[in-house]
C-alpha cells in the first residue's frame, strides 16, 4: 500500500500541509508497511527524551560505528545509553546545571555524542565548534557564549584555548590526552544517572550553533529543543528510512545540517551511524560502512564526479563507453527504450553503473545533498546511473531543514516545503528581480530559531514581528510548488551600467562545466564581470599526468597557453545560456586551492567571498586594466 508522504504525516501528526501550493508527490512515496518508524510513537519533545526513546526501542541494535585497529566496531544503543548517563553524572558533579553552556571543540566522535546528550538531560546548552576553526573564531565564540565547561579533543587545542585570558584552564577537559586517562575514561567510572532525572524542557535552548561567518563575525543561533525535535519529526516523514539503515557520518556536528540529520534524526529512527575517520578517508569508509543513506554537501558529490571523469579521460575507449552508457541510462530514466537499447541498458548497468554505485558502498537507497547548491549536471549524472540524490534547502536559523526535492523531473529545484513549513516570496522593490515571480524567501514554522545569542538587533533584522524568518535568499516557486533558489540578497550587486547580478547564480552555471572545479565572480560597480577559475583536477591531470596530488600545482602552469585555451573554451561554452551583461569578460586561473586553513573556505566548506576578494585583490584589479 502506497500513500503519499504528506498524507501519512497528517494522519500521524495532525499537521496541515501547504495545500495552496498544489504539491505533486507522485515521484516519491513511502511504503508504510516497510517503514518501521511509522508504527512507533515518536512523541518525544526534547533531545534527551529522543535518545531515551531510542535506547528503549533499539537497545540491542548498533548505534555508533567507530573504526579502531583497522575495522569498525559498533556500540549498541543500550551501551551508549549507559555511558551517556555516566557522563551525565560526571557533568552534574562538575556543577553543570540548567542553562549552563558546554563548549565542544572536537570532530564527530563518541565523546561528542555522550557529552551532548548528557548535557541536554541536565538542561544545559551545547556550543559546538570545529577543530579546524581559526583561533580568532574560537576566541570570539568562547567569549560570547561564556561556557561553564569546555571539552577539546587534543592537547594542541587545549594549549591554544588555555591561553585566553578570560578562560579558567581548570574548566577545560581533553578527550584524547597525550598520556593518562581522557575525559571518557574518567566519566565512565561514575554511577549512571537515572534516565528519569531529566531537567530538559521543550522551550529550553539546547544548542547555540555559530554560523560560519562568510560575511563577518559568527553569530550564535539559539535553537530550542522544540525547534530541533520538530524539524527531526517533519523530516522523518519524508523518506523510508529506519532502524535497518546505516549512514556514514562526515557532516560536522558543529554544523546545523549534520547536527540535526546525522546526530538527531538517524538516532531518533534507530539507524546505525558510522563515523568517518576524516574527510580524506571518506572513499575508503564508504566501502567499510556500506551506507544505505548518505547525507553530504555538494563538494563531496563534485569530488566523486571529478574522480570518475578523470578515469574517463584516461583513454578514448573508456570515454566512449561511459558516454554511451550514460546516454542509454538517461533515456531509460526519462523515456522508453527499444529492444536493442534494452540490451545495451542491461550491459551498461552491469559494467558501468554498478561500478559507480560501488564507489558509494554498493548499498545506497538514496543521498541527500544540502548546505549549498548542487550542480544540475552532476545531479543528472548520478540519477542516470542509479544514485538518487535528493537536494534539500535549509539554514541554521531554521534548525535547519526547510524543503527537500525528491522529484528527478525537477532537478535544479530544492523541492517542496516540509509539512507545516510555510514559504512566502516577498517582492524586492529595487528593480533587481529578473524573474517575474522572484523575491526573498520568507519562512514560517515551529523550527525558526529563538534568536541570535547576545544580538537582539541582528535577530530583529531577520525575524519580523510575525515570527517569519527572512532567509536572505532570492527565489521563486513554480506552478507545482517547487522552490528555486536564485542567490543571496546581500551578494547581489549592480554593474556600472545599472544591471543587477547575482554572482552565486552565475557561479553555479559555470561550475557545471567538467573542466571547472569552482569559480568566483566579481563586478560590483564595474563595467563588466570577471571571474577567478580553478580548473578541475581532471583537466590539470591531463597536462601534468605525473603530478602528485599531495603537492601544489606550479603557479606558472596557470599561464600555460594550453591550460588557458582549454579553460577559456569551457568558460565560453558554459556562458552560452547567460545574458550578455552576465557573462564574465575576462578570467584568471587560480591554482591555489581554497581551504579552511588558508581562510578561503568556512569550516562548512563555503567560499568566503570577501576573503577571496582580498586575497586575490591584485589579480582582480589587473583584469580591469586595459
493 within 8 A of 505, measured Cβ to Cβ: no
Between 563 and 403, the more confident residue is 403
Between 597 and 495, the more confident residue is 495
Domain-located, residue 147: yes
pLDDT score of 586 more than 60: yes
Which range, of 55-69, 212-226, 511-525, averages the lowest pLDDT?
212-226
pLDDT score of 395 more than 70: yes
Which domain-ending residue is among 266, 281, 296? 296
Banded model confidence at residue 509, pLDDT cuts 50, 70, 90: confident
Give residue 412's region: left, alpha or beta (phi > 0; psi -120 to 50).
left
* Residues in Cβ contact with 91 at an 8 Å cutoff, skipping those fewer than 6 apart: 102, 115, 118, 119, 122, 124, 149, 187
pLDDT the model gives residue 107: 94
Length of the chain: 626
Which range, of 7-16, 306-315, 486-495, averages the lowest pLDDT?
7-16
Which domain-ending residue is among 264, 296, 328? 296
Q: What is the CATH number of the domain that holds 547?
A: 3.30.300.30
Domain-located, residue 243: yes
Tell the residue number behind the cell numbers 549507559, with chain if given.
82
Domain-located, residue 433: no
Domain-located, residue 246: yes
pLDDT the model gives residue 11: 36
Nearest to 491 by CA among 479, 476, 508: 508
Dihedral in degrees, nearest 10, Cα atoms 180, 63, 264, 253? 40
Q: Could you tell me what percent of the chain has a pLDDT over 70?
A: 90
Number of Cβ atoms within 10 Å of the Cβ of 20: 8
Question: Taking residues 129-139, what's their average pLDDT?
Answer: 92
pLDDT the model gives residue 6: 34
Q: In whole numbers, what is the pLDDT of the chain averaged over residues?
A: 87
Dihedral in degrees, nearest 10, Cα atoms 253, 254, 260, 265? 10
Question: Taking residues 522-551, what's their average pLDDT?
Answer: 82
Measured in whole angstroms, the distance separating CA 51 from the mean position of its chain's CA atoms is: 23
pLDDT the model gives residue 447: 98
pLDDT score of 150 more than 60: yes
pLDDT score of 297 more than 70: yes
Domain count, the chain: 2
pLDDT score of 303 more than 60: yes
Domain-located, residue 347: no
pLDDT the model gives residue 318: 86
Which domain-ending residue is among 237, 267, 296? 296
Domain-located, residue 318: no
Between 37 and 443, the more confident residue is 443
Q: DSSP per residue over 93-140, as a string?
A: HTT--TT-EEEEE--S-HHHHHHHHHHHHTT-EEEEE-TTS-HHHHHH
pLDDT score of 550 more than 80: no
C-alpha cell at 32: 508504510
SS3 9: helix
Banded model confidence at residue 37, pLDDT cuts 50, 70, 90: very low
pLDDT the model gives residue 40: 59
Question: Taking residues 570-580, what's their average pLDDT?
Answer: 91
pLDDT score of 24 more than 60: no
pTM: 0.84
Domain-located, residue 301: no
Between 552 and 219, the more confident residue is 219
The parent domain of residue 499 ranges over 493-622
Banded model confidence at residue 105, pLDDT cuts 50, 70, 90: very high
Q: What is the CATH number of the domain that holds 255?
A: 3.40.50.12780
Q: Could you tell me what percent of the chain has a pLDDT over 90?
A: 62
Domain-located, residue 595: yes
pLDDT score of 133 more than 90: no
Amino acid at each position: 500500500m502506497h500513500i503519499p508522504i504528506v498524507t501519512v504525516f497528517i494522519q500521524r501528526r495532525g499537521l496541515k500541509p501547504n495545500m495552496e501550493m498544489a504539491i505533486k508527490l507522485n515521484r516519491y512515496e513511502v511504503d508504510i508497511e516497510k517503514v518501521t518508524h511509522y508504527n512507533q510513537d515518536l512523541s518525544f519533545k526534547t533531545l534527551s527524551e529522543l535518545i531515551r526513546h531510542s535506547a528503549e526501542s533499539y537497545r540491542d541494535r548498533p548505534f555508533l560505528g567507530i573504526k579502531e585497529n583497522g575495522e569498525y566496531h559498533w556500540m549498541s544503543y543500550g551501551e551508549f545509553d549507559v555511558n551517556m548517563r555516566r557522563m551525565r553524572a560526571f557533568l552534574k558533579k562538575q556543577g553543570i546545571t540548567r542553562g549552563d553552556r558546554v563548549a565542544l571543540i572536537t570532530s564527530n566522535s563518541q565523546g561528542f555524542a555522550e557529552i551532548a546528550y548528557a548535557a541536554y538531560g541536565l538542561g544545559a546548552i551545547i556550543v559546538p565548534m570545529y577543530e579546524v576553526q581559526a583561533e580568532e573564531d574560537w576566541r570570539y565564540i568562547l567569549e560570547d557564549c561564556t561556557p561553564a565547561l569546555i571539552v577539546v579533543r587534543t592537547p594542541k587545542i587545549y594549549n591554544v584555548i588555555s591561553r585566553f585570558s578570560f578562560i579558567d584552564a581548570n574548566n577545560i577537559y581533553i578527550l584524547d590526552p597525550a598520556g593518562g586517562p581522557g575525559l571518557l575514561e574518567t566519566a565512565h567510572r561514575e554511577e549512571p544517572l537515572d534516565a528519569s532525572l531529566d531537567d530538559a524542557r521543550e522551550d529550553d535552548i539546547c544548542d547555540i550553533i555559530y554560523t560560519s561567518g562568510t560575511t563577518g563575525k559568527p553569530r550564535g543561533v539559539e535553537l530550542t529543543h522544540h525547534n530541533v525535535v520538530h524539524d527531526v519529526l517533519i523530516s522523518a516523514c519524508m523518506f523510508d528510512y529506519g532502524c535497518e539503515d546505516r549512514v556514514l557520518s562526515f557532516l560536522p556536528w558543529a554544523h546545523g545540517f549534520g547536527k540535526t540529520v546525522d546526530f538527531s534524526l538517524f538516532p531518533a529512527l534507530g539507524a546505525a551511524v558510522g563515523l568517518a575517520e576524516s574527510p580524506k578517508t571518506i572513499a575508503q569508509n564508504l566501502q567499510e560502512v556500506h551506507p544505505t543513506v548518505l547525507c553530504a554537501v555538494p563538494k563531496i558529490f563534485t569530488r566523486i564526479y571529478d574522480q570518475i571523469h578523470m578515469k574517463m579521460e584516461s583513454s578514448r575507449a573508456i570515454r566512449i563507453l561511459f558516454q554511451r552508457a550514460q546516454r542509454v541510462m538517461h533515456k531509460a530514466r526519462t523515456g522508453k527504450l527499444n529492444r536493442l537499447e534494452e540490451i545495451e541498458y542491461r550491459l551498461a548497468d552491469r559494467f558501468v553503473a554498478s561500478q559507480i554505485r560501488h564507489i558509494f558502498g554498493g548499498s545506497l537507497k538514496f543521498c541527500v545533498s544540502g548546505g549549498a547548491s548542487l550542480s544540475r549536471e552532476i545531479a543528472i549524472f548520478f540519477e542516470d546511473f542509479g544514485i538518487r540524490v535528493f537536494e534539500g534547502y535549509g539554514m541554521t536559523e531554521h534548525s535547519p531543514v526547510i524543503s527537500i526535492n525528491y522529484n528527478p523531473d525537477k532537478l535544479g529545484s530544492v523541492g517542496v516545503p516540509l509539512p507545516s513549513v510555510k514559504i512566502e516570496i516577498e517582492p524586492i522593490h529595487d528593480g533587481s528581480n529578473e524573474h517575474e515571480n522572484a523575491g526573498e524567501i520568507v519562512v514560517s514554522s515551529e523550527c525558526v530559531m529563538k534568536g541570535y545569542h547576545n544580538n537582539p538587533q541582528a535577530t530583529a533584522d531577520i525575524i519580523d514581528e510575525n515570527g517569519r524568518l527572512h532567509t536572505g535568499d532570492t527565489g521563486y516557486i513554480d506552478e507545482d510548488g517547487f522552490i528555486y533558489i536564485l542567490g543571496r540578497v546581500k551578494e547581489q550587486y549592480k554593474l556600472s551600467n545599472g544591471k543587477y547580478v547575482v554572482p552565486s547564480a552565475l557561479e553555479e552555471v559555470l561550475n557545471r562545466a567538467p573542466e571547472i572545479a569552482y569559480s568566483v565572480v566579481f563586478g560590483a560597480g564595474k563595467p563588466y564581470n570577471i571571474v577567478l577559475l580553478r580548473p578541475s583536477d581532471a583537466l590539470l591531470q591531463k597536462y601534468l599526468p605525473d603530478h602528485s596530488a599531495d603537492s601544489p600545482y606550479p603557479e606558472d602552469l596557470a599561464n600555460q597557453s594550453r591550460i588557458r585555451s582549454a579553460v577559456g573554451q569551457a568558460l565560453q561554452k558554459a556562458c552560452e545560456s547567460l545574458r550578455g551583461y552576465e557573462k564574465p569578460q575576462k578570467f584568471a586561473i587560480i591554482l591555489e586551492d581554497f581551504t579552511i586553513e588558508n581562510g578561503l573556505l568556512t569550516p562548512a566548506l563555503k567560499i568566503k567571498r570577501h576573503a577571496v576578494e582580498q586575497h586575490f585583490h591584485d589579480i582582480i584589479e589587473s583584469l580591469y586594466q586595459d
